[in-house]
C-alpha cells in the first residue's frame, strides 16, 4: 500500500472552506481524503483541484455508470485532475469497466487506483428483486467483484461484513475499500452494520473510509491520532 496509513477521511460537505479546513487538519496524519457527489456537484473540478493541491491523496467517489464511451471520457477528465482513486459501478458491465481502465491507463503512467461498487449497501434482497438483479446480495456482490477483477480493476468498495468473503474469493492483491467504520468511542449514526477500524483492518481491509467520527469530532486531528494509535496496536 503506497499510502501513509489506511485512513481516508470522507469530506462530506458541499462547503469548500469546510472541506479545506478538514483536509488541512488531517493531511499529515492520514492516507488520504474522499470527496463525493455532494462536494463535486457544488464545487466541481475547481474545488476538487483545491483539495488535491494540498498534497493529500484524493479518492474521488463519483461512482460512474453510463455507456462505455461516456465513462471513458469522464474518467479521462478526472484522471487529468490528479486524483489517486476513482470508482465506477460494476453493474455498468464489462465493456464499461474495461473502457474506464483503458482511459485511465492511457492518460497517466501512474494511473489512479480504480475500484468498483458492487451492490450499494443501502439495497437489500427485496430491492435487488425489484430491479431484476440476482439474489442473494452476497452472490451478486461476489459475481460483480470477480467481474471487476477480470476487467482489470484494482478492487472494490465493500461493507465491513463482506471483507472476509471477498478477501477469500478475490485474493490478497485485490483492494478492499471499506466504509461503515466506527471507533468504539463514536456514535454509529445512520450506519447499521459497523466495525471498528482495528477489526476491519485486521480482517483484511486496505482502505478505511471514515467520515463523521473524524469530521464531527470536536478536534478532528485528535480523532485521527486516536484511530492511528488503535491501528498501531495490531
The contact set with ligand C5P (CB under 6 A) reads 10, 12, 36, 121, 157, 159, 179-180, 189, 191, 209-212
How far apart CA 90 and CA 97 sit, in angstroms, is 7
Angle between helices 94-107 and 137-150 (to 10 degrees): 40
Nearer to ligand C5P, 96 or 209 (CB): 209
How far apart CA 150 and CA 120 sit, in angstroms, is 20
Cβ atoms of residues 112 and 152 within 8 Å:
no
Active site residues: 63
Burial of 133 (0-12, 13-18, 19+ CB in 10 A): middle
How far apart CA 32 and CA 85 sit, in angstroms, is 10
- Minimum Å gap between C-beta 222 and ligand C5P is 17
Nearer to ligand C5P, 31 or 179 (CB): 179
Nearer to ligand C5P, 12 or 72 (CB): 12
- Minimum Å gap between C-beta 86 and ligand C5P is 14
- Minimum Å gap between C-beta 109 and ligand C5P is 29
- Minimum Å gap between C-beta 80 and ligand C5P is 24
How is residue 164 written as a grid cell?
472476509
Nearer to ligand C5P, 99 or 207 (CB): 207
How far apart CA 62 and CA 60 sit, in angstroms, is 6
Amino acid at each position: 500500500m503506497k499510502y501513509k496509513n489506511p485512513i481516508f477521511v470522507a469530506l462530506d460537505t458541499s462547503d469548500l472552506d469546510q472541506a479545506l479546513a478538514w483536509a488541512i487538519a488531517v493531511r499529515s496524519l492520514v492516507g488520504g481524503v474522499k470527496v463525493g457527489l455532494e462536494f463535486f456537484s457544488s464545487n466541481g473540478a475547481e474545488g476538487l483541484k483545491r483539495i488535491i493541491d494540498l498534497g493529500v491523496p484524493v479518492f474521488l467517489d463519483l461512482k460512474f455508470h453510463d455507456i462505455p464511451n461516456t465513462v471513458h471520457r469522464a474518467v479521462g477528465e478526472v484522471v487529468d485532475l490528479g486524483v489517486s482513486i476513482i470508482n465506477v459501478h460494476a453493474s455498468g458491465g464489462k465493456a464499461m469497466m474495461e473502457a474506464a481502465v483503458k482511459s485511465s491507463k492511457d492518460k497517466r503512467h501512474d494511473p489512479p487506483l480504480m475500484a468498483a461498487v458492487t451492490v450499494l449497501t443501502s439495497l437489500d434482497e427485496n430491492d435487488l428483486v425489484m430491479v431484476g438483479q440476482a439474489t442473494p446480495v452476497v452472490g451478486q456482490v461476489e459475481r460483480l467483484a470477480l467481474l471487476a477483477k477480470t476487467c482489470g480493476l484494482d478492487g472494490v468498495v465493500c461493507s465491513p461484513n463482506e471483507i472476509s468473503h471477498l478477501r477469500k474469493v478475490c485474493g490478497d492483491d485485490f483492494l478492499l475499500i471499506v466504509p461503515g467504520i466506527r471507533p468504539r468511542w463514536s456514535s454509529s449514526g445512520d450506519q447499521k452494520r459497523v466495525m471498528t477500524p482495528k477489526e476491519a483492518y485486521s480482517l483484511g481491509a486496505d482502505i478505511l473510509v471514515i467520515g463523521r467520527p473524524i469530521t464531527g469530532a470536536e478536534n478532528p486531528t485528535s480523532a485521527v491520532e486516536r484511530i492511528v494509535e488503535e491501528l498501531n496496536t495490531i
